[in-house]
Structure 1
Amino acid sequence: MVGSTTLWWIVGVALLLFWGIGAYNRLVRLRAGVGKAFAALDEQLVRQLVCVQGCLPESMRDDTAAVLAEPQDTASAAWARLQAASEQFAVALAQARSQPIDAPVMARLVMSHEALRAAWAGALADAVPPDAVPSADRLQARWLRLLHQSLPFRTAFNESAQAYNQAVQQFPALLLARLFGFRPAGTVTRMAEGR
């Protein structure tokens, strides 16, 4: 009788241990999937950033302090806003690249992308002359094309993050998640789609 009770306890502990290892490995695999999905999205976001920075006037690409110290008309103020927004987005993107699971970091990435989008629209409206080559319409078309190319990658990242978040919040894996520091991931669902 004592031997069979001990055997049941050993079997129970072994099953719990095997379940724990499997659940932990699943959480690790899902978290790694979020990182892989962000790496693909990151490539698309870098393309958007390069596009914007490539459209800045040559003087703004070299020396930011000299440009900001000069008196600004409407066009140069629009370019300065775009430059500041692109720098802010570059910093947020670097942080997101190093912490693709962190929800506040992802929220900052979304906000900085929205600021970049608004600054881009302002620069096209206020700083690109009507006879410019390429025209504001062509620049906007290029921007929209880049935004639309990133949509499947953004969707894949969000789906990966949501699958991870569901796993982290399910009981009893929730206990392992808390024990080993698995926190819910942020998503980029509110990122501008091309307005």
Structure 2
Amino acid sequence: MEIGSFIVLGGIAALVFYAIAIYNALVSLKHAVTKAWANIDVLLKQRHDELPKLVETCKQYMQYEQETLERVMQARGAVSAAQQRGDIGALGAAEGQLRLGLGNLFAVAEAYPELKANETFQHLQSRITGLENSIADRREFYNESVNNNNVRIEQFPDLIIARLFNFKAAELLEFSAEETADVDMKGLFSG
């Protein structure tokens, strides 16, 4: 065999190994997105289980605030439905409504000293607040994973392997303007 043949074979082998490395990196990114979503899913389920307990505790004290409690439970249902469908866009909107409803609920609870002093309410409020913070952290990690995946499958030469093996872009978890707006505390207490 001639030296030129070895060079050609070496070049082909290098390209094959490079393509394998790209493929493995893309698989790793795809699974990072799935893992990040699974972490959010666990926290959403924990919060989903805690919310009815909070609402039941509040119902004992907040006889005139049924609309606030109903909004929280409706938003909880919307989050659950979007989560089950795997609809990231709808989940972002439902999450915004739920966070807004919880903010309103906790603000209205300030007007009920007996409720604020209730140990169960304090525990549930603390637990849900902790879950909200964890969910926010995990959303950031999820969006970072999605961004890394989406950028990588659009970059050359990775996009050749991505298209060849049908790697898809993932959807960012985005939130409505309503969720990112400040809560009108004066409006909550003037109604």
TM-score scaled to structure 1, two decimals? 0.68
Gaps of 5+ in 1: 61-72, 97-104
Gaps of 5+ in 2: 184-191
The residue number in structure 2 matching 1:110 is 92
The residue number in structure 2 matching 1:152 is 137
- In the alignment, the residues of structure 2 paired with residue 128 and residue 76 of structure 1 have an alpha-carbon distance, to the nearest angstrom, of 15
The residue number in structure 2 matching 1:48 is 47
1:37 aligns with 2:27: no
- In the alignment, the residues of structure 1 paired with residue 33 and residue 149 of structure 2 have an alpha-carbon distance, to the nearest angstrom, of 7
Q: Rate the CA distance shift 1:8–1:78 in 2: closer, same or farther, 3 A.
A: same
| Residues 110 and 116, structure 2, Cα contact 8 Å, conserved in 1 | no
Quote the offset at 1:35 in angstroms.
1.3
Amino acid at match of 1:158: N
| Residues 43 and 135, structure 2, Cα contact 8 Å, conserved in 1 | yes
| Residues 92 and 109, structure 1, Cα contact 8 Å, conserved in 2 | yes
- In the alignment, the residues of structure 1 paired with residue 137 and residue 98 of structure 2 have an alpha-carbon distance, to the nearest angstrom, of 20
Instruction: Count matched residues.
Output: 173
The residue number in structure 2 matching 1:188 is 173
- In the alignment, the residues of structure 1 paired with residue 117 and residue 98 of structure 2 have an alpha-carbon distance, to the nearest angstrom, of 19
Given candidates 98, 103, 120, the residue that maps to 1:121 is: 103
Given candidates 166, 184, 194, the residue that maps to 2:151 is: 166
Quote the offset at 1:140 in angstroms.
5.3
Quote the offset at 1:124 in angstroms.
4.4
Given candidates 57, 78, 84, the residue that maps to 2:68 is: 78
Quote the offset at 1:85 in angstroms.
1.0
Quote the offset at 1:166 in angstroms.
2.0
Q: Rate the CA distance shift 1:175–1:74 in 2: closer, same or farther, 3 A.
A: farther
Of 74-83 and 29-38, more deviation after overlay is shown by 74-83
1:126-154 CA distances to partner (integer Å, 9 max, x unpaired)? 68861443469946555433222334323
Q: Rate the CA distance shift 1:146–1:131 in 2: closer, same or farther, 3 A.
A: same
